[in-house]
Chains A and B, each alone.
Chain A
Amino acid sequence: MTLLGTPSQTVGPFFHIGCSKLTVSDLADLNVPGIRLAVEGRVLDGDGNPVRDAMIEIWQADASGKYACPADRQNKQFDPQFRGYGRVATDQNGRFRFTTIRPGSVPGPGHTIQAPHLLISIFMRGLLNRLVSRMYFPDVALNDDDPVLKSVEPSRRKTLLAWKTEGSKDTLQWNVILQGKNETVFFDI
């Protein structure tokens, strides 16, 4: 190692100016294969107040479990129509929403398999470094054996699981709770 890494600094309250051109709230065009769904949620601070100036980024594999990135060395083709990247900002109620497809499962450490998941980066004023979390899908058998979920204390695992919205089978809910009893699990990567 020859160089010292550049430290992180907060994205601040005005990130919309520089980050709007790469905003992507619909991750998958209609012709991309996979189970289509919407994800909705809120970002809440330690007082339970909505965070109106958060930016959320999504990274995920395609429906076959392949990332659109040369560093994924699995011997399968990624879907050229699907990049797996999303970025949305929260609104005045701290809400965010994006649509995508459910990713396939991807390899985990050793010879394990990871359950389908979204990687989430969370940026906002007040955070000097991004927070990293994962969103998993409800009713997926692989969740029980997912190596990352298993590394989380059982009582906190539910914060990583989206849930179905009543009356809409295509919409999932998932919140980012920054502090408190139901604080979302964040990862040190």
Chain B
Amino acid sequence: MHNGCGCPNAAQSMPDPIRYRRPSRATQPAYLHPSYASSTKRAPTQPLVVLAHTVSETTGPQFTENDIRGSGCDLTQQPSGEPLGERIIVSGRVLDEDGCAVPHTVVELWQANAAGRYLHDADHHNAPLDPNFTGCGHTFTDGEGSYRFVTVKPGCYPWRNHHNAWRPAHIHFSIFGPAFATRLVTQMYFPGDPLLPYDPLFNSIADENARNRLISTFDWKTTVPETALGYRFDIVLRGREQTPMDAPRVRGRKK
């Protein structure tokens, strides 16, 4: 205690926390990306203020299975019946840049149905809804950072960004990781999708290797005979500037 005010609720002095590394510019999208029309009125125009991480940024919300109702990793199990479409298994690991597992973190997922339609009031695409598909899922990574969803392959759909604009098939992912600084919302794409070269969102990442991180890989190992094709999608969160000496960490498995 150094603040001298004697208040039991006052902040205590402590060593500066170990910060998370900043990504190199080309590996993350810029806010203003003119070919993505809705970024023009929503991207900030003033430069961001660089903030050195404090305990506020190096901590983050922790969730347990009790925080989310119901089971959510199999989107094909609906009380009313099975959804239409190509059944797939999407699995992978959540890691940090050092290859260390991010265990027990929540993974949220949402997607269009096989016809390319979201179960959402704001989706006016005239493709059919599927009464047996909500497109909403969630799970937690296990102790090695692994997760697994069973779902159907989402359809492509038109949007009004430019003439004849179509989104490639994609699945939305939301991950918290260990800290406020590691929060990530992203989209997973499918290998060989002919729409990828035309998609302003996918192409907002200047660095080709980083961009290709967003494309899942077809995976025989997780493909289940007579059941579903497997796609693998590893998600890499920011790493720290140095490894905390006392933090238990699980190293990445070799592929």
Interface residues in chain A, defined as those with a beta carbon under 8 Å from any beta carbon in chain B: 1-22, 45-47, 49, 51, 53, 57, 59, 61, 63-65, 67-76, 83-85, 104-111, 113-114, 117, 119, 121, 123-132, 148, 151-152, 156, 178-180, 183-189
Contacts and interface: CB of A to CB of B under 8 A. Distances in A.
B134 interface: yes
B13 interface: yes
Contact of A104 (B9, B123, B183, B209): B9
Given A74-B55, A113-B11, A15 B172 contact: yes
A69 B59 CA distance: 6
A128 B29 contact: yes
A8 to B, nearest CB: 6
Given A72-B59, A126-B38, A187-B50, A9 B186 contact: yes
A108 to B, nearest CB: 5
Contact of B36 (A61, A121, A126): A126
Given A5-B236, A17-B110, A178-B43, A186 B49 contact: yes
Contacts of B184: 6, 8
A68 B179 CA distance: 11
Of residues A70, A108, A117, which shows the largest number of chain B Cβ atoms within 10 Å of its Cβ? A108
Contacts of B138: 18, 21
B10 interface: yes
B207 to A, nearest CB: 8
A49 to B, nearest CB: 8
Contact of B57 (A4, A119, A127): A119
B201 A69 contact: no
A129 B31 contact: yes
The contact size tier of chain B is 35 or more
Nearest to B212: A4
Given A130-B183, A130-B185, A179-B45, A69 B213 contact: no
B84 interface: no
Contacts of A20: 136
Given A5-B236, A14-B123, A189-B57, 18 more contacts: A4-B97, A6-B235, A6-B237, A15-B185, A17-B119, A21-B138, A22-B63, A45-B41, A68-B62, A69-B60, A69-B61, A74-B12, A110-B16, A117-B56, A126-B36, A183-B45, A187-B50, A189-B180
B12 A151 contact: no
Contact of A21 (B27, B61, B68): B68
Interface of B: 2-3, 8-17, 21-23, 27-31, 33, 36, 38-46, 48-63, 67-69, 72, 95-99, 106, 108-110, 118-120, 122-123, 134-138, 172, 174, 178-181, 183-187, 201-202, 204-205, 207, 209-211, 213-214, 234-239, 252
Secondary structure type dominating chain A contacts: loop
Nearest to A185: B49
Contact of A131 (B36, B44, B58, B106): B44
Of residues A10, A65, A128, which shows the largest number of chain B Cβ atoms within 10 Å of its Cβ? A128
14 contacts: A3-B95, A5-B210, A6-B214, A7-B29, A21-B108, A22-B67, A45-B41, A73-B17, A75-B12, A75-B14, A83-B61, A128-B31, A178-B42, A187-B49
Of residues B8, B99, B120, B135, which shows the largest number of chain A Cβ atoms within 10 Å of its Cβ? B120
